[in-house]
């Protein structure tokens, strides 16, 4: 038997090499076929980050945190069924920061002596879902990640080490140029994790509805977000200050690029929405949201000019109140210093310009890219100048690790205090 194996091994090796030459080269982390039409897709996302907050007070902060997500998704191509499990864990390698922006007796990570960096240590089930997908219809049930449009109203908060997920059922329909999207959620799982106390999760009845139409000139979508928070989910009124129930109705459009030549194009994006109280909210207010952005692309670089307004009403019950987006990917909007995670009572106007691009010919740093922006902030009512902010970042890749260097500088005038933030991040994922 041993002689037979030794004699046939070269032939088997040649056959295997011939098959490998014909088949696409497999990468580490690619889906693995294990049965007829079934695959197992491993999930791994490891992120190491240093975040520094510098303020003109004694509340500076440094956080070195490591976040790891791991799991797998099983798919059956013949039936369209899938099942996904993903766990997540975050550890702090440095302790010079407050992990919560509120007093939290449930955890010793709230030290009340440093600036807040909301990346608490945590171990939890991040996603646990089953799904069905065919060419037209999709359904996902369980704890899941939900990102809608540009995430201005509903997102995953992926910038934080612990992301936001939802216990929900979501259905989608894509038929030709028409798209429909509907979600019912009963729990908003926050970035504060298992030690978040009353803010570990916000329970209630949440409905996200969207209907879109795609044309060669662009895309248009109407949406409705009905957020009815359960009062019993909070330990006190202060914990609910910006999470009172609301109903928001609006529309969004994105134009197709208008080409001026081979390398120059322009596209426009705009949104409008109205918001008022809903469910058990007694604030009795009506406010508007308005956003517009233009992007001029020239080769590998892009100039951005935009304006966003989160309106306020001086006629609201119990005092002036403003447009709130408590489920949004807030780090993406109104400056990366995160000074406006809660819209001020007098509203917010953000006028901004930006420049971004990439350098594909720099072989030493694959994927080298950059962005920089400048914001002017003010109120919607009472004409208050809040401040201004400069943001910049550089990203590149070495082997399979994505690197990010990021900086934000907020100069206060009528809101908050001068704040500078710096990040250095390395991430590996498949």
pLDDT tens series, the chain, 430 aa: 333 333 333 333 333 344 444 556 778 888 999 888 899 999 999 999 999 999 987 689 999 999 999 999 999 999 999 999 999 999 999 879 999 988 876 676 666 688 999 999 999 999 999 999 999 999 999 999 999 999 999 999 999 999 999 999 999 999 999 999 999 999 999 999 998 888 899 999 999 999 999 999 999 999 999 999 987 655 444 444 557 899 999 999 999 999 999 999 999 999 999 999 999 888 899 999 999 999 999 999 999 999 999 999 999 988 999 999 999 999 999 999 999 999 999 999 999 999 999 999 999 999 999 999 999 999 999 999 999 999 999 999 998 999 999 999 999 999 999 999 999 999 999 9
For the domain spanning 2-429, the CATH number is 2.40.160.10
Which residue is associated with the tokens 């933030």?
Answer: 421
Handedness of CA 67, 72, 77, 80 (dihedral sign): negative
Residue 237 phi/psi, 5° resolution? -65, -35
Pairwise CA distance, residues 83 & 109, whole Å: 34
Annotated domain spans of the chain: 2-429
Q: How far is CA 409 from CA 19, 94, 201, 356, in A?
A: 56, 23, 31, 18
196 DSSP 8-state letter: -
Angle at 25 between CA 24 and CA 26, to 5 degrees: 110
Tokens of 109: 């990570």
Pick the closest to residue 223 from 291, 172, 153 (CA basis). Answer: 153
Q: What is the pTM of this model?
A: 0.90
Q: How far is CA 367 from CA 61, 346, 363, 402, 416, in A?
A: 31, 41, 9, 9, 36
Q: How far is CA 311 from CA 275, 295, 321, 378, in A?
A: 9, 24, 9, 11
**Per-residue pLDDT at 35:** 85
Contact between residue 127 and residue 142 where contact means Cβ atoms under 8 Å apart: yes
The neighbour count for residue 406, using CB atoms within 10 Å, is 18
Tokens of 294: 């233009």
**82: helix, coil or strand?**
strand
Tokens of 285: 């207010």
**Per-residue pLDDT at 16:** 38
**Per-residue pLDDT at 25:** 73
Q: What count of Cα atoms within 13 Å lies in the side-chain half-sphere of residue 16?
A: 6
Q: How far is CA 170 from CA 112, 139, 245, 326, in A?
A: 39, 6, 21, 19
Pick the closest to residue 149 from 332, 392, 374, 336 (CA basis). Answer: 332
Contact between residue 164 and residue 114 where contact means Cβ atoms under 8 Å apart: no
Pairwise CA distance, residues 399 & 397, whole Å: 6
**Per-residue pLDDT at 234:** 53
């Amino acid at each position: 038997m041993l002689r037979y194996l030794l004699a046939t091994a070269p032939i088997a090796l040649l056959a295997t090499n011939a098959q490998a030459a014909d088949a696409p080269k497999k990468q580490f982390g690619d889906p693995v076929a294990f049965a007829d039409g079934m695959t197992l897709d491993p999930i791994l996302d490891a992120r190491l980050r240093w975040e520094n907050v510098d303020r003109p007070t004694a509340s500076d902060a440094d956080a070195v945190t490591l976040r790891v997500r791991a799991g797998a998704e099983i798919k059956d191509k013949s039936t369209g069924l899938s099942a996904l499990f993903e766990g997540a864990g975050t550890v702090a390698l440095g302790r010079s920061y407050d992990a919560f922006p509120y007093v939290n007796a449930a955890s010793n990570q709230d030290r009340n002596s440093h600036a807040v960096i909301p990346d608490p240590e945590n171990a939890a089930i991040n996603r646990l879902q089953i799904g069905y997908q065919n060419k037209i219809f999709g359904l996902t049930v369980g704890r899941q990640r939900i990102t809608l449009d540009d995430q201005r109203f509903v997102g995953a908060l992926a910038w934080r080490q612990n992301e936001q997920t939802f216990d929900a059922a979501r259905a989608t329909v894509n038929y030709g140029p028409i798209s429909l999207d509907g979600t019912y959620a009963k729990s908003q799982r926050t970035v504060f994790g298992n030690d978040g106390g009353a803010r570990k999760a916000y329970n209630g009845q949440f409905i996200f509805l969207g209907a879109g139409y795609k044309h060669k000139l662009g895309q248009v979508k109407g949406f409705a977000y009905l957020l009815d928070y359960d009062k019993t989910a909070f330990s006190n009124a202060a914990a609910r200050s910006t999470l009172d129930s609301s109903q928001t109705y609006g529309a969004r459009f994105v134009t197709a690029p208008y080409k001026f030549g081979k390398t120059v194009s322009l596209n426009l994006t705009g949104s409008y929405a109205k918001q008022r109280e809903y469910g058990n909210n007694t604030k009795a207010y009506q406010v508007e949201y308005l956003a517009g952005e233009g992007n001029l692309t020239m080769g590998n670089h892009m100039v951005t000019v935009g304006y966003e307004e989160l309106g306020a009403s001086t006629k609201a019950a119990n005092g002036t109140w403003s447009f709130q987006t408590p489920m949004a990917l807030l780090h993406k909007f109104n400056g990366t210093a995160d000074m406006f995670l809660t819209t001020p009572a007098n509203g917010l106007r953000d006028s901004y310009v930006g420049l971004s691009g990439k350098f594909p010919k720099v072989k030493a740093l694959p994927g080298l890219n950059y962005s920089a922006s400048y914001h002017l902030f003010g109120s919607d009512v009472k004409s208050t100048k809040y401040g201004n902010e400069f943001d910049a970042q550089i990203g590149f890749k070495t082997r399979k690790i994505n690197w990010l260097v990021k900086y934000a500088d907020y100069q206060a005038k009528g809101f908050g205090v001068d704040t500078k933030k710096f990040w250095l991040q390395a991430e590996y994922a498949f």
